[in-house]
Chains A and B, each alone.
Chain A
Amino acid sequence: MKFLLYTTGDNTQPSAPPTPQMIEEVGKFTEETRRAGILLATGGLAPTTTRVRNAGGKLTVTDGPFTETKELTGGFALVEVKTREEAIEWAKRFRKIVGDGDSLVQEVFE
């Protein structure tokens, strides 16, 4: 089973920039998932987003938000694991390292 694990930015609560220690720990963790044979792809996510919306056939493109989110750090990982619980366990381990905030775990269908 494949799962997409990703962090969501809470726009009202900008986090502090990651400390060098946290960056190192996240690096170690990423290596651990790679060596566990579960990591298919991973990357960081920039704080800003562009939204493309179709509402009744009318397409709108919205940039942003830009305020207060600059210091948010996010990322995603595509993992291949045996059960949803296993994906959740990896997400918990990641969350313990990066601290407050949300990670979402979503199954990827073939």
Chain B
Amino acid sequence: MTGTDTHGAIDAVWRIEAPRLIAGLTRIVRDVGLAEDLAQDALVAALEQWPESGVPDNPGAWLMATAKHRAIDRLRRNERLERKQEELGREIAAQQERAMADLNIPSADDVDDDLLRLIFVSCHPVLAPEARVALTLRLLASLTTEEIARAFLVPVSTIAQRIVRAKRTLTEARVPFEVPSGEDLDARLASVLQVIYLVFNEGYAATAGDDLMRAGLCEDALRLGRILAGLAPNEPEVHGLVALMEIQASRSRARVGPSGEIVLLLDQDRGRWDPLLIHRGLAAL
């Protein structure tokens, strides 16, 4: 395998594994920003080592093990720096204990729980809607800051700032890493669904002349929606949103005429609607 092939493979592994990786790390370090840094550290290690050693058999587990070792290093370093602050020290010891306990391979259910928690944190109402959107695309759809900026037609620095501020806000607000329950759940779930639908609409509003990255937002939103439906199968609102997106997406081909003009629903050639997506949409209902 050549270096370029390996980089392509690493990129693909990253897209598949990053959300679960960041979710698992957030549970250990209790901070989304730090978790993403650790995950990025693991990615850098992969970029350094895999072109030589080849992609490991279980790349997800490799990335997680590497990131966890970095996490423990950091916790130890913090402990040395802050040894005299006894209270903090105790907190770190507790964190370290948790980190050690978490070195055991988590079950598939644990991973799912972490992913769902991460979605709720990333779409937390303490963040402005555009911050939720940027952070969610970054953490859960594995888009780069550049890709998000291109898709939303804003400067890269704007998105970068949005993401940095969002992470800081989550840390400062001490947003717990949990799935909300009781009365909270409805409002928080509405916030998650809003984020996914905002992403979808941004992609759906893209016209034929636009960057493909923009239209790709529809696929990103659908993927997030399908993941959420798998994680929270008992929430009818989630299936409702997935159905809506699948059915709207089934018409994407028919919406644009030969010269790039928008074709309104009643004038669309129904034969160009995607029957598979219609079927998937109805099934989600």
A residues adjacent to B (C-beta < 8 A): 1, 34-38, 40-41, 78, 80-83, 85-86, 88-90, 96, 110
CB distance from A72 to the nearest CB of B (A): 26
- When chains A and B are docked, how far (Å) is the Cα of A89 from the Cα of B220? 18
B276 to chain A: which residues have CB within 8 Å?
40-41, 78
8 A Cβ contacts from B215-268 to A: 216, 219-220, 222-227, 230-231, 252-253
Among B12, B220, B277, the one with the most A-chain Cβ atoms within 10 Å of its Cβ is: B12
8 A Cβ contacts from B179-229 to A: 216, 219-220, 222-227
B52 in the interface, Cβ–Cβ < 8 Å? no
B77 in the interface, Cβ–Cβ < 8 Å? no
- When chains A and B are docked, how far (Å) is the Cα of A40 from the Cα of B253? 17
CB distance from B276 to the nearest CB of A (A): 6
Number of inter-chain CB pairs below 8 Å: 55
Contact B13 A110 (CB under 8 A): no
Contact of B219 among A34, A80, A90 (CB under 8 A): A80
Contact of A82 among B13, B219, B230 (CB under 8 A): B219
A38 to chain B: which residues have CB within 8 Å?
223
Residue of B nearest to A2 (CB): B219
Q: List 10 A-B contacts (CB under 8 A).
A: A34-B230, A36-B227, A37-B223, A37-B224, A38-B223, A80-B219, A82-B220, A85-B11, A88-B8, A110-B253
Contact B219 A36 (CB under 8 A): no
Known: A40-B280, A110-B252. A85 touches B223 (CB 8 A): no
- When chains A and B are docked, how far (Å) is the Cα of A110 from the Cα of B250? 11
> What 1/0 flags go to B1-28 for Cβ under 8 Å of A?
0000000110111011000000000000
B side interface size, CB within 8 A: 26
- When chains A and B are docked, how far (Å) is the Cα of A40 from the Cα of B230? 14
Known: A34-B230, A40-B276, A41-B276. A82 touches B224 (CB 8 A): no
Contact B11 A37 (CB under 8 A): no
- When chains A and B are docked, how far (Å) is the Cα of A85 from the Cα of B231? 26
Contact B9 A82 (CB under 8 A): no
- When chains A and B are docked, how far (Å) is the Cα of A102 from the Cα of B128? 48
B222 to chain A: which residues have CB within 8 Å?
37, 80
A81 to chain B: which residues have CB within 8 Å?
15
Known: A37-B223, A80-B219, A110-B252. A88 touches B16 (CB 8 A): no
- When chains A and B are docked, how far (Å) is the Cα of A88 from the Cα of B11? 11
A85 to chain B: which residues have CB within 8 Å?
8-9, 11-12
A41 to chain B: which residues have CB within 8 Å?
276
B224 to chain A: which residues have CB within 8 Å?
37
CB distance from B65 to the nearest CB of A (A): 19
Contact A80 B223 (CB under 8 A): yes
- When chains A and B are docked, how far (Å) is the Cα of A96 from the Cα of B11? 19
